[in-house]
Each structure stands twice: as structure tokens, then as C-alpha cells.
């Protein structure tokens, strides 16, 4: 299911195919996941989203696997089943061990809990946390 | 401000002081932040939260700084100003560079965006993402 | 599936039937969607929710289709699959083009991203944004 | 306040200044709001965010004011005080009347309520809402 | 601060005053809180919101204090500082003890944590939880 | 489905079995729900989560059924289908009537709505709500 159905490679415009080709080349795979097939109904969105993803998820000061773990942490917090499923697999491909997953999940669980403790106990920000980072 | 005000060290019960002492010893500091002073009104909550924090945030398969980054990512997603301020400072103390912060934030921004694209385009989970990790 | 099952027209009390009749008359349809059949277990909730919906979603200073788009935008942000599916169909019936859907989704994606950039970079509100609207 | 402080025009690199210049020219103003001054610490993020904003918020199948209303609706749902304040002012500048604001808010309130009724009464999606839009 | 400023009693229309009068009579107080003064710019919204609040928050199968605790739990989860502050005070007036507050908060913290464990470990619903309540 | 599959009693380590045994004894049942079977892949998480649950959900200043209602209210607000399904059944077992469920849901719906009215009308906290509870 998808709002407008999926656009398969063979039915895609040249513009959409170019993005699909780049996805497959970058990821060294010959299939395109449902996410891209669904948003391809808006070729501009497809292109922008893919280019941003490619740039942002590439290794930099943070390892690629750390970036995937952060992505999963956000998706778990928001409750997006597709995103959790897809990026847990991506994280695995990029080297996530079981132990790394478990530790990430414990942090996510506790942060979600503590965020609410702060809200409920109405904790004011300490002066020491207000100075900009140097 | 805090729902019940803050419990300072000098006014704390021995039970609460023991937790404060462990926080200061573990973090090598001589002050207690507002969060702990606010939840100390429920000594059981204080104890449980501190013990969980101490265990979960310690380095393991993930570095301490990666854990702090994940904590910030969750807090940013939920919109908890106190938590973002406090844990950005913690992350810095544990070695977060400016570049690491920026990369984390770009992933968080994009994940929040893509989570909604998935919701709005109603993307069904691919079969390949449904198999349990091995 | 539904917490208490569905209350079909033929099994409904006169009070519930009156609401069902008004829904079908207002929407020019002869069926009632699962949402109403599920909340009919609380007849007061059913009546209040339908009356509010009828009043709020009617065209006013905003077109009916714009109201549906805003409804979908909220549902996408919260991650409510039922609500996204149902109101995307409603928006279509009220004149939403593919292009309108795509543009709404791009705004929703970006707003969700930028909301988090603001949270993470801890941006203080500009004085110019604090004056009440005239 | 901001995580790294603000980058003012006079202290900005040529790369950042170019974005600031384009913001001021596009918006016909001579000041830059805190959001841009805060994220300018990551020039790539600044550039990408501005270019996306400029493209996405421009009038298309949806009016510019409708796009701003959708942006506010998302920010209200997420609870981002800065974003609500800034984009309510933007919406006003693009023609939002008091009445439009009130109607948008009533839809946002009701959608947030109904999203939870659906979650709590565990309402299954009707078959009629599962067919892709034609 | 408020988007349109506050409408004080003396400046209110008869329609708005009638709601203010009912709020003060029902709550046995002679002041109106900022929430009502802010939404009074939309008299229909004011009237609908007050009537719903009055009806929904009245004691029924659940005590008034339990309803306030549930209200606070939702507001804490969403992160609405105004709502947490106002309804914590309301709960207190209706009989909430410190102990009740602490227990509510521990449940809220744990539920927020466990919701994410479920999301992250992608736990499928047990058959035994799918049968409608009898 | 679950990220790592389920750990059944017969395949569990002694450490995991001890937790399973305590769950079954405490709840007077001979089965373990999917949640525990899924998180058992991290035995420390399983143990900590179960011990916290057991302690926090036990009757105290609040009845066990009130605690379950608060748990459901949070899960409904966050949109966690598993959690809503499981804890609605738990609440029923602990004495929740239909009427109690309906009243809880009306509060949850309204609180979610009003939280957003506060966000959108940018309502400042009244001085009277800022004093710590005595």
C-alpha cells in the first residue's frame, strides 16, 4: 500500500530512473525499496530526498553506523514502523552488532523517560547549561 | 522553578545524600544539577533514575559520546529544552566536536522529515525488512 | 479490529442512529466509516465529535480542501495511519489535486525537520516575533 | 541563547553571507532572524535549509499563505514555540486573517483529539480508504 | 505573551463574558486564567472548549482528581509547559497528594520508555490482545 | 514479528527464565507476552524493565486500575498500538469498566486538543501556576 501506488523502474520517467540508478549504484544493490517507489510520484521530492540522504548519511566526523543508529533512535521515538524496520537493516549492513542495538535502545528508552520527568517536575535550566559551547 | 522546589544537599535525607554523593563522585564534580534536585522529592525515583543512568550511559559497545549524541537526538525530537541543554554540555565534556554535533543534527532533521514522508505516502514495509536480524 | 467492536446501524440505539443519519445526509453517502462505528460505544463522545467535526470542517475563511490538508498534515506529523488514510480520501473528494498533496507533504516534511533544528540549536525567539498580531 | 551563539552578518564567511544576502533579497528585509544566525555554524546545513525553504514555501498549487498555515499547524502539533511564533508572523505577512488563524487552530485541535480517539479505540482502516488515489 | 494578547473581562463581549462568568461560578474563583483570555479571540472556540472541559472533567466513573492526573500525564508526554503547570495546580486543588503525583509520574516515565522499547524491538501484537473487550 | 525474533521459555537462559517465572507468578498466568519475549534478547533490559514495571504498577497511593489507565493514556498519546492493546486488556483485568475507559479517552482527547490550543495561541504561564506546590 502507498497513497499513489509504487512507480517501478520500468514505468519511471528518465528523471526518476536517474535517481533510481544512483541509489542502486551507491548502495550496490539491484532493487529499490518501497520508500523511493512511493515518493517518486513527486520527482522533485525524490531527487531532493535522495541527494540529502546520500550526503548526510555518508561517513564524516561520525561513522556511518553511528548515523544509522541515530536515525533509528529518532524513528523509534516518533513511532515510524517502516523507518525502524528499514534503518535497523541498514544499520546492520553498516556493522551494527546486537550489543550496539541493545545499548542504543536502552539510551532511547531512558531519554524518553527522563524527558518526561523533566516536563512533569518542571525543571528549570541550570545557568551552567546556558552558556554557548566554546 | 520546579513543581516542588529543589532539595539542596544540606536539606537532603541520608538516602538522598547518598545518591548525590555518588553522582558527584562519578561525575567528578561538586555540584548537583536541577534535574536531580527536583526529582529528589521522590527518593525512590531519584535512586532508580540515577542507577539506570549510570549503568546505561557508561561506555560499552558504544562510546560514551555516541550515547550522549543519541540522548540529545531523542531530546531534540521530543522537544525537551532542559534535556537538550544539559546533554549537549555532557556530550561536549565526553568529546563531542562541533562537527559531530552538526552531523548528528543533520541526521535528526532528516529522519524527522523522512518519518513523515513515510507516514504521508503511507509506505508499506518491504518484505526484505521483515526478517529478524541474524 | 476496535476496542469494543463496531456498532452497526441496525444494532444502534435511536440516539446513535440519529448521528449516523446526520453523517450520511451531510456527506451524501450511505455508509458509516469505522471511526464512527467504534466510538459509538460512547454515545456522548460520538455526538460531540460529530458536531464539532461538522462545524469545524465546513468551509469558512478557509476552503474545505485546505482544512482537510491541515488535518492530514497533523495526522502525518503524529503518525496516525487511520487518520492519514481517511482524510487523504476526504481531501481528494473535496478537490485535492496530486500537486496539492505533494506540496503539502513537502511543507510537512520540512516543518518537521526545521522544528528539530530549532530545538537542537536552541534558538531563542526574536523580539520581532513576540509582539501580538494586530 | 543558541547552542553556539549567533553568527552576525559582519562576522560571517563569504559563503554564509551569500545565503544571508539571498534571504534578505527574497524576503525584502534587511535583517536575518535568529534561526539562520544559529544554524550558520554549519554552512552546509544553512545553505541546504535555505534553498529547500525557498523552493518549498513558494506559491504553487497551494498559496503561500496556505503553506504557512500548514507550517504553523505542524509546529503547533510538535510544540515548537520558536517555530509557531516565527511562522505565525510569516503567515500574517502573506495575508493570513484572524479568521483564517482561528479556523486553522480549530482543525489542528480537533485533528489532535481525533488522532488519539482512533489510537485509543484501536480503529482498523476501512477497505474503502486503502485503495491508492487515482 | 499570547498570539493576539489577552481579552480581559472588562473588554469582553457579552458572549465572552457569559463564558467567563460560568468559569468563575463553576470554579468558585474570581479570576480567569490566561488560557481562556487568549482563546477568547475566537468566541466559538472559547465556548466549545469550556463546555467540553466542564462536562469531561466533572466526576463520573472516574474521580475528578484522577481525570486531572490523566490530563497532566498527557501534557507531560506532549511537553506542554503551560498545561503541566496549570493542571498540576488543578489536581492539587482536587485532592492530589505528593505521593499521587510521584506515582503518576513514575507510570508516565515508564510508559514513555516502554512505548519506545516496543517500537524499537518491533513487537507484534499478541493474539490474546486482539479480541474486543466484552 | 520482532527485531530479533522471540525467546521462548524453553530456549531461554536461566537468567531469562528467572524473570519469566517471576512474571508468571506475579500475574498468575502461564504465558509470557510478546513484549517480554522480544526484549529478552537483552537480559539486562528484560530484568530492569520487569523489576521497574512490577514496582511502579503495584497499587499505592493510586489504585492499580488508575495506573493502567494512565499507562493507556500515555500510549494513546504517543500512538503505540501494541501498548494500547496490551494495557487496555490489563486495565480490564484490574477492574476497568467501559465507562471508565470512555471517560479516560475523553480526557485524553481533550488534553491533546488543549495542549495544541496553548501552543498555537502561545499562552504564557500565569503567575499563580508558578509557585511550587506546598
CB contact under 8 A, C77 and D80: no
Q: Closest by alpha carbon to A113, among F53, C118, E92, C77? A: F53
Report pLDDT digits (tens) over E16-61: 999 999 999 999 999 999 999 999 999 999 999 999 999 999 999 9
Q: What is the pLDDT of residue B132?
A: 85
Rounded Cα–Cα distance for residues C67 and C95 (Å): 12
CA angle D22, D25, D26 (to 5 degrees): 80
The residue of chain F with its CA nearest to that of E6 is F123
Burial-class residue C8 by CB neighbours within 10 Å (0-12, 13-18, 19+): exposed
Indicate the pLDDT class of residue F13, thresholds 50, 70 and 90: very high
Q: What angle do CA A7, A12, A18 make, to 5 degrees?
A: 115
Residue B114 touches chain C, beta carbons under 8 Å: yes
> If you average pLDDT over residues E60-76, what whole number do you get?
98
- Check CB contact of E105 with chain B, cutoff 8 Å: yes
On the 0-12 / 13-18 / 19+ scale of CB atoms within 10 A, A131 is exposed
**Mean pLDDT, residues E67-81:** 98
Chains that touch C (3 or more CB pairs under 8 A): A, B, D, E, F
What is the pTM assigned to this prediction? 0.98
**Residues of D with CB below 8 A from F75's CB?**
119
Identical fold between A1-58 and A59-134:
yes
Cα of E99 to nearest chain A Cα, Å: 13
Please report the pLDDT score of residue D132 as a whole number: 85
Q: Does C119 touch chain F (CB under 8 A)?
A: no
Query: What is the per-residue pLDDT for A57?
Result: 97
| Residues in chain F within 8 Å Cβ distance of A76 | none
Determine how many CB atoms are found less than 10 A away from the CB of residue C97.
13
Contact between chains at C106 and A42 (C-beta distance less than 8 A): yes
What ipTM, to 2 d.p.? Answer: 0.97
Q: How far is the CA of D25 from the CAs of C110, D54, D57, E85, F119, in angstroms?
A: 22, 12, 15, 42, 31
Chain F touched by E90 (CB under 8 Å): no
Give me the residue spans of the domains in chain C: 1-58, 60-122
Residue of A nearest to E110 (CA): A113
List pLDDT tens digits, range C97-128.
999 999 999 999 999 999 999 999 999 999 99
Mean pLDDT of A51-62: 97
Q: Is there a contact between B101 and D45 if contact means CB atoms under 8 Å apart?
A: no
Task: Give contacts of A117 with chain E, Cβ < 8 Å.
Answer: 105, 109
pLDDT higher than threshold 80 for residue B134: no
pLDDT at res. C1: 78
Q: What is the CATH number of domain A59-134?
A: 1.20.1290.10
Nearest CA in chain A to C124: A130
The pLDDT confidence band at residue F134, using thresholds 50, 70 and 90, is: confident
**Chain F, nearest residue to B129 by Cα:** F3
Query: What's the rounded Cα separation, in Å, for the pair C102 and C91?
Result: 13
Specify the pLDDT at position B55.
Answer: 96
| A residues 30-89 closer than 8 Å to B (CB) | 31, 33-35, 38-39, 41, 45, 49, 52-53, 56-57, 60-62, 66-67, 69-71, 73-75, 77-78, 80-83, 85-86, 88-89
Rounded mean pLDDT of chain B? 97
1.10.645.10, 3.65.10.10, 1.20.1290.10, 2.60.120.280: which CATH number matches A1-58?
A: 1.20.1290.10
When pLDDT is cut at 50, 70 and 90, the band that residue D101 belongs to is: very high
Any chain A CB within 8 A of the CB of C120?
A: no
Amino acid at each position: 500500500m502507498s497513497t499513489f501506488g509504487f512507480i517501478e523502474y520500468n514505468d519511471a520517467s528518465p528523471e526518476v530512473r536517474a535517481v533510481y540508478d544512483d541509489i542502486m549504484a551507491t548502495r550496490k544493490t539491484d532493487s529499490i525499496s518501497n520508500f523511493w517507489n512511493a515518493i517518486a510520484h513527486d520527482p522533485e521530492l525524490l531527487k531532493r530526498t535522495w541527494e540529502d540522504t546520500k550526503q548526510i548519511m555518508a561517513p564524516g566526523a561520525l561513522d556511518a553506523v553511528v548515523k544509522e543508529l541515530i536515525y533509528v533512535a529518532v524513528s523509534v521515538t516518533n513511532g515510524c514502523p517502516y523507518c525502524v524496520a528499514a534503518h535497523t537493516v541498514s544499520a546492520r549492513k553498516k556493522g551494527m552488532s546486537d550489543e550496539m542495538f541493545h545499548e542504543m535502545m536502552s539510551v532511547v528508552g531512558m531519554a524518553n523517560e527522563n524527558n518526561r520527568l523533566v516536563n512533569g517536575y518542571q525543571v528549570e535550566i541550570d545557568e551552567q547549561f546556558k552558556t554557548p559551547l566554546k
